[in-house]
Structure formats: C-alpha cells, structure tokens
Structure 1
Amino acid sequence: MPHSAPAELLDESGGVINLIEDFDTLIHVTRNSDAVWLTSTYAVADEIAQGTLAKLSKPAAVYEGHFTAAIFSLDRSSPSPLAKLMKQSLRHRFNSLVRDHAAG
C-alpha cells in the first residue's frame, strides 16, 4: 500500500513530494544531485559528522507538530544481534532528540 505525505507538508511544499523509504538510495541521490532531503538530522547523523551531507537552515514551512515512533517485532521470534543493536541505537538517538528538544 503506497504511503502519502502528511497534509501539512503537501500544503506547504508547493510541488511534488516523492516518498522513498530506502535511506541508502536517499543518501546517494542527495549527495550526488541538487535534491534536498527533508528528514531528521538523527537519520543521517553519521553522514553529517563525516561531512558527506550538510544540514541546511530550516525553512519556515517545516511542520512543527509532534510524532510518535515505535519499534515492532514478532513475539514468536528472537531478534538477531543486529536487530538488538539497531533497537538500542534508535532508542539512544530518540532519547537524545527528546533531551535536545527539552533543552531548547
């Protein structure tokens, strides 16, 4: 089932929004073109630290609402070591985001 962009972004974008869920593809396209990727800096923290992507000033049209994030897994399966590491990393990054936001 295709995803659609939030109404707030569609109203403010004034153009077409492409939704792509493969971060490797998005990193490649953003690095090698004039594309602008609207995402959390936490999603590309390593690329920003390495200098392969840069954070641009936030445009006034960016949605300032709240969001909910969740990690799902099947009850009947044991997570792989990589899945456990990914879960830990996501928790760490989201907690950092919350702390940074609270600090202003």
Structure 2
Amino acid sequence: MRGGDGGPALYAAFAVMGVGMALGFGPTLTRALADVRPKGAADASGVLVTVTQLGQLTEVAAFGTLYLNRLDAQGAQGSGHALWVCALALFVAAAAEAAAGLVRRR
C-alpha cells in the first residue's frame, strides 16, 4: 500500500476512533460538572472547556511530533507505518483515559 490511501481498514479505524471519542466526550463533561452548584456552573464550565481545549492542543502537538518523527525515521515509504504508530499511541492514551474515568470519586 505504499503511496496509497490506506484502504478500507484505515477508514474503519478512523470511524471507530471518532465514534469512541464522540461517545466519551459528552459523558465526561457531564460527570465533571455533575456536582457543581448552579451558582458556580458558568465558571466551572468555562474552566472545563478551557482545560479541554488545552489538552486537545497538547495532544495534537504530541501526536503530530510523533508522526513526523516516525515519518523522518522511515523515509517517504514509511507514512503508513508512522500513521499506525500514531494510531496505536492514540489507542493507548484513550485506554488510559478510559481507565482513569472508571475510578470512582470519593
């Protein structure tokens, strides 16, 4: 598949990752704001959205750096390998985040 578009497996992987992120984002925000009093809801939601955007920015920079690093190491033929390394790293990060979300608050 060198120089190809990645094939149906890549598109399926992207679809599964996108659905997983969509299903996890709403409940995460809901759980984070569940115990906030109405008086502080505006401030709490503003801080939460800001921290979420900062996290997304950091992840894009980190995984973009990982991708470009793998691309440089493999040469022009290694774009598929670099993408799969990035996808695997994203999976590990998502699994760690899911596990952290399962921890009950006291």
TM-score (ref. length: structure 2): 0.28
Bigger fraction of residues in helix: 2
Larger Rg: 2
TM-score under structure 1 normalisation?
0.28
